[in-house]
């Protein structure tokens, strides 16, 4: 842009500066908004009743550990993965599956030859991040208890957050072709510069003007507005 300002291309330099600034600012604001949203979703905590030797005590969900027995709360998002020990529950798993159809969960059988696994025993598992619509206690009228199986990033919700924060790199051929195009144009610019430099030296061109003209050649062959044009093209294509 400094080169264009020296050559008198003030309007063109200003347009590139404006487009680049708007693009970078919009991307930065979007990243901050998304990171804040993910942070709030990942750091969710709530008050929950934990079973202890002294009875039920209110604790913060951040202190829960695998093996703790808690009362399954109603009408709130679960802070951890639980296996249902007593009663039953109706759960909204839209946060994980995208389907808003309520799912019925039953308590883990007391006598069973089946080994418990969260993947294969989902009908007994309450996943973190899902919302419990209603709990139904057992006939003895005790609270609906759940056993904490995993917390934090080890929960199903935690694995989703981890994939959002650290996604697998996706390589588009569109961008690799763009880099190839820029590389070919850069080679052409170098060859053009090497071909014209002896002619300009013979013509008695001063060194500042020689540098100016060579840089002009590079900015013509490798257009600086190409990234902005490609970004606009991708946005409109999407």
Reported as a single tens digit per residue, the pLDDT across 41-56 is 778 888 899 988 888 8
Residues 7-17: what's their mean pLDDT? Answer: 85
CA distances (Å), origin 33, targets 7, 41, 117, 200? 40, 12, 36, 53
* C-alpha–C-alpha distance, residues 41 and 75, integer Å: 17
Mean pLDDT of the chain: 84
Reported as a single tens digit per residue, the pLDDT across 58-111 is 899 889 999 999 999 888 888 899 998 888 899 988 887 887 788 898 888 877
So what's the pLDDT on residue 65?
92
User: pTM for this structure?
Assistant: 0.60
What distance, in Å, lies between the first and last C-alpha atoms of the chain?
A: 30
So what's the pLDDT on residue 147?
92
Residue spans of the domains in the chain: they are 1-43, 46-165, 170-238
Question: What is the CB-side half-sphere exposure of residue 97 using CA atoms within 13 A?
Answer: 13
Report the relative pairing of strands 81-84 and 47-52 from DSSP bridges.
Answer: unpaired
Reported as a single tens digit per residue, the pLDDT across 120-166 is 678 888 898 888 888 888 776 678 899 999 988 888 888 888 888 88
Strand partners, 182: none
Reported as a single tens digit per residue, the pLDDT across 19-29 is 888 878 888 99
* C-alpha–C-alpha distance, residues 93 and 82, integer Å: 14
Domain 46-165 CATH (choose: 3.40.50.720, 3.30.365.10, 2.120.10.30, 2.70.150.10): 2.70.150.10
Alpha-carbon torsion angle 116, 119, 122, 125, nearest 10: 70
So what's the pLDDT on residue 119?
65
Reported as a single tens digit per residue, the pLDDT across 213-238 is 888 887 777 777 777 777 777 777 77
* C-alpha–C-alpha distance, residues 210 and 200, integer Å: 7
Reported as a single tens digit per residue, the pLDDT across 166-203 is 888 777 787 788 888 888 988 888 888 888 888 888 88
Q: Which residues contact 120 (CB under 8 A, 6 or more apart)?
A: none
């Amino acid at each position: 842009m400094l080169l264009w300002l020296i050559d008198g291309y003030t309007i063109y330099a200003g347009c590139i500066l404006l487009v680049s600034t708007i693009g970078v600012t919009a991307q930065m604001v979007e990243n901050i908004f998304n990171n804040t949203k993910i942070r709030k979703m990942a750091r969710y905590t709530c008050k929950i009743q934990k079973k202890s030797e002294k009875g039920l005590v209110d604790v913060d969900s951040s202190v829960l550990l695998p093996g703790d027995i808690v009362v399954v709360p109603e009408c709130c998002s679960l802070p951890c993965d639980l296996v249902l020990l007593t009663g039953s529950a109706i759960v909204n798993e839209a946060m994980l599956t995208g389907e808003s159809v309520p799912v019925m969960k039953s308590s883990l059988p007391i006598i069973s030859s089946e080994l418990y696994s969260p993947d294969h025993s989902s009908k007994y598992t309450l996943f973190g991040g899902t919302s419990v619509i209603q709990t139904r206690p057992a006939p003895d009228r005790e609270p609906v208890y759940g056993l904490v199986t995993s917390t934090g990033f080890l929960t199903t919700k935690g694995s989703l957050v981890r994939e959002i924060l650290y996604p697998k790199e996706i390589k588009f051929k569109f961008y690799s072709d763009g880099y190839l195009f820029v590389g070919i144009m850069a080679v052409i610019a170098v060859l053009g510069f090497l071909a014209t430099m002896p002619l300009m030296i013979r013509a008695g061109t001063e060194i500042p003007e020689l540098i100016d003209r060579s840089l002009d050649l590079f900015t013509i062959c490798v257009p600086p507005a190409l990234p902005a044009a490609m970004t606009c093209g991708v946005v409109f294509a999407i």
